[in-house]
Structure 1
Amino acid sequence: MTTHRTDVVIIGGGIVGASAALALRGRGRAVVLLERDLCGSRSSGVNYGGVRRQGRLPIQLPLAQRAHGIWARLPQLLGIDGEYRRSGHFKIARSAPDMAALEAYAELSRDFDLGLQLLSAAQVRARCDWLGGVAVGGSLCPEDGQANPRLVSPAFARAAARAGATVLERHAVQRVDHDGQNFLVTAGEGGALTVQAPVLLNTAGAWAGALAAQFGEPVPMHSGHPAMAVTEPLPAFLPWSLGVEGGGIYARQAATGQVVMGGGQGLPLDDRRTRVDAPTLTQLLHQATALLPPLRHAQILRTWSGTEGYLPDRQPVLGPSATTPGLFHGFGFAGAGFQIGPAAGEVLAELVHQGRSTTPIDAFSITRFAPVASTCPTPAPP
């Protein structure tokens, strides 16, 4: 057995864990990153690729704004642009209540300077001849955009490795212990490697709940499996990344002409494998062609799904453990972690390096799921 001593051990090589590794190396910390499969191969690499701030609750917007600045310097950080472009994100209103909700959100988020533009039905018709007749208006965030998660997420891990982090893929964690001072993480086939570190980052995505529970912090997290599809290359027609107020289909057209779309839930085959079944795909395509008539004769090249972790309030856990010094959590991003992932990684690095973050994260504390002690008086003995 090999023992590796380091400053920080990270479990989970998605965009949060990998960006934390990169940020920690920038602060001079020695890092070992352990990934069960390939970095960015789970939800960080199979998501839709939307890079949006619009639609997030105000408690997430400081984190989203921080991430917005990180995305702007992606080539300098990673050496690639990841097909990131600020194409704009347009949220469609299909009814008067939907439009009222978008108007209310524009007011609610005004202090964050998202630059939202509310479009009337007439403006939508004038600007969106490619859109089916379902919209009564919408909200455009011009500086939001899209990227290719299959490029961006692994690139964070590669950048961390170039910066000096030890990145170990195909090293499933077998056991985690704590001796009062250090974490001892046993990983790899047959438990061939033990990593010893005073700090542990739990960024294991949909599988992070088990590790939190081991240290006395169970969370009510469940898994979701979003259904995705991509078309053949089509002539450019869709300028913005699209969402729908109240939920439903979402779609974007890549620079290659392919339209990436999602909606509904895929089918889990086991704890690692998922797929899109025929009824879900049929429903997705029906919604897609109603919303976007240019898709009516498009060929679907590929479908896929993945596994994401969801908490009841749809907000992540991000911050220190309340039970174990040196343990920090970053998980449960509920399908919306791609855009804020790089900022979450930087926050974790700040917490490790200086004990606090410049970005407000109190709302994401794991203590919000702590059992509430009963306030009922103890019955008097008979």
Structure 2
Amino acid sequence: MTRRIDCDVAIIGGGLVGSSAALALRGMGLSVTLLDKGFCGAQASGVNYGGVRRQGRPSEQLPLSQRAHAIWPRLQQLIGIDGEFLRSGHLKLARSADDMASLERYAAEVAPFGLDLELVGHNQLRERFGVMGDLVGGSFCPGDGHANPRLVAAAFAAAARRAGAEVLENTEVAGVSRTFEGFALEAGDVAVTARSVINSAGAWADRFARAFNEPVPLERTYPSMIVTEPLDPFLSVNIGIEGGGIYARQVARGNVVVGGERATPLDNPDYSRPHSDGALTIMQRASELFGPLRHAQAIRFWSGTEATMPDRNPVLGPSATTPGLIHAFGFSGAGFQIAPGVGEVLAELVRDGQTATPIDAFAITRFSPASQPGGALKQQ
């Protein structure tokens, strides 16, 4: 028997963006069905590095990032756990004079947004933060931090369920089409009708966009992380490097999470596998900055699947071809911090058709300006 569900909003993808939108929509009194092909929060939202940072984002993302920044301290009230959120500060390091000049330009550019960035010199890196190595300086954002993605991503979905959202896991959406009154979704033995649809399917979102004549140049990437054995406290801040290469943070239990390499996709590109050479490279880079890591044991390493856009900005906003369809994907490895804010924005777009948070820079039309109306997706 086919189960039939009628709702105000159907959300494709139960990651942090989709689940936070579901929670926000339920707070507005709208009925919501959240569908995920696996388990909510098990993909990029739950396996990422866990950085909760505003620093380093393009200026067009900062209004959205600032909105999310106000939500993170309220996680306990919002989803029932604090998610191990720690406002540790984020320190971005410069390896060269050119890198330091880049940090200085960025600090000047984003000064109006209230990040309170502090430029620090080489000596302060060692004295204040215990960072060694051949570095020129850095930029410190005291209000940024980190959290546990495995806890946070699942908790938002659980909170949405408690708030009354219909949360369907292991339920892959095979087809979605526009109807006279809204949308019809086919998902195994479930048929959903909805007035609005949110496409937050992450690395799988491009197929739904393409079905409505809005192709996008989404690329799948596979970040790889390592966690060490518990160590005595030595790293009090969330670390990044200008130009990339390594990021690191130490959790309250003493484990250090380190990232910066890519994993290898498997024959099924939904999955990837970290490789030992990459893990060794990451640890060698990290040990050059932090002496306690030189003899640390790596106890686990993993990877995930991210949706990356060419300009590193997400696709966020209404469809240009199909009324009632809203896109939210392609966060390019930086969606963890802004996702709670994105969820609120999506809820406002559904209810009001607009949001006070500037999102024009994220319009899908920047990739497919000649899209034609209509479209449907069917399982091949």
Shift of 1:268: 1.2
**Structure 1 gap segments, 5+ residues each:** 374-382
Shift of 1:372: 6.1
| Farther off after superposition, 32-41 or 168-177 | 168-177
Alignment map for 1:145-294 (pairs within 5 Å)? 145-187=145-187, 191-269=188-266, 270-294=268-292
> Aligned partners of 2:330 and 2:88: how far apart in 1?
27
Listed one character per residue, the Cα deviations across residues 220-249 of structure 1 (whole Å, up to 9, x for unaligned) are 011000010000000000000000011110
Secondary structure at the aligned position of 1:261 is classed as strand
Alignment map for 1:1-382 (pairs within 5 Å)? 1-129=2-130, 131-187=131-187, 191-269=188-266, 270-371=268-369
What is the letter of the counterpart of residue 182 of structure 2? N
> Aligned partners of 2:249 and 2:19: how far apart in 1?
26
Shift of 1:96: 0.7
> Aligned partners of 2:87 and 2:269: how far apart in 1?
35
What is the letter of the counterpart of residue 359 of structure 2? I
Shift of 1:311: 0.9
> Aligned partners of 1:16 and 1:134: how far apart in 2?
38
> Aligned partners of 1:124 and 1:286: how far apart in 2?
19
Q: Contact 2:217/2:309 (CA < 8 Å) preserved in 1?
A: yes
Secondary structure at the aligned position of 1:180 is classed as coil
Listed one character per residue, the Cα deviations across residues 173-228 of structure 1 (whole Å, up to 9, x for unaligned) are 121122232211111xxx21100001000000010000000000000011000010
> Aligned partners of 1:371 and 1:355: how far apart in 2?
21
Listed one character per residue, the Cα deviations across residues 232-290 of structure 1 (whole Å, up to 9, x for unaligned) are 00000000000001111000000110000101110111233211112211211111111
Listed one character per residue, the Cα deviations across residues 32-80 of structure 1 (whole Å, up to 9, x for unaligned) are 0001111100000000000000001110000000000011211100110
What is the letter of the counterpart of residue 325 of structure 2? L
Shift of 1:122: 2.0
CA 1:372 to 1:212, structure 2 compared with 1: closer, same or farther past 3 Å?
A: closer
> Aligned partners of 2:282 and 2:126: how far apart in 1?
24
What is the letter of the counterpart of residue 150 of structure 1? R
What is the letter of the counterpart of residue 147 of structure 1? A
> Aligned partners of 1:324 and 1:247: how far apart in 2?
38
- Count matched residues: 369
Secondary structure at the aligned position of 2:70 is classed as helix
Secondary structure at the aligned position of 2:57 is classed as coil
Secondary structure at the aligned position of 1:252 is classed as strand
What is the letter of the counterpart of residue 194 of structure 1? A
Q: Contact 1:275/1:303 (CA < 8 Å) preserved in 2?
A: no
> Aligned partners of 2:91 and 2:269: how far apart in 1?
34
> Aligned partners of 2:281 and 2:110: how far apart in 1?
33
Shift of 1:127: 1.5
> Aligned partners of 2:71 and 2:369: how far apart in 1?
36
User: What is the TM-score with the length of structure 2 in the denominator?
Assistant: 0.95
What is the letter of the counterpart of residue 200 of structure 2? T
What is the letter of the counterpart of residue 84 of structure 2? E
Q: Contact 2:93/2:241 (CA < 8 Å) preserved in 1?
A: yes
Among all aligned residue pairs of Structure 1 and Structure 2, give the percentage whose two residues are the same amino acid: 57
What is the letter of the counterpart of residue 41 of structure 2? G
Root-mean-square deviation (CA, aligned residues, Å) is 1.1
> Aligned partners of 2:251 and 2:126: how far apart in 1?
23
Q: Contact 1:92/1:135 (CA < 8 Å) preserved in 2?
A: yes
What is the letter of the counterpart of residue 204 of structure 2? W
Shift of 1:301: 0.6
Shift of 1:292: 1.6
> Aligned partners of 1:360 and 1:205: how far apart in 2?
21
Q: Contact 2:129/2:236 (CA < 8 Å) preserved in 1?
A: no
Shift of 1:371: 4.7
Q: Contact 1:118/1:138 (CA < 8 Å) preserved in 2?
A: yes
> Aligned partners of 1:39 and 1:222: how far apart in 2?
22
> Aligned partners of 1:54 and 1:33: how far apart in 2?
31
Residue equivalent to 2:375: none
Secondary structure at the aligned position of 1:155 is classed as helix
| Farther off after superposition, 99-108 or 118-127 | 118-127
What is the letter of the counterpart of residue 361 of structure 1? I
Q: Which has the larger radius of gyration?
A: 1
> Aligned partners of 1:222 and 1:121: how far apart in 2?
37
Secondary structure at the aligned position of 1:6 is classed as strand
Q: Contact 2:125/2:132 (CA < 8 Å) preserved in 1?
A: no
Q: Contact 1:46/1:150 (CA < 8 Å) preserved in 2?
A: yes
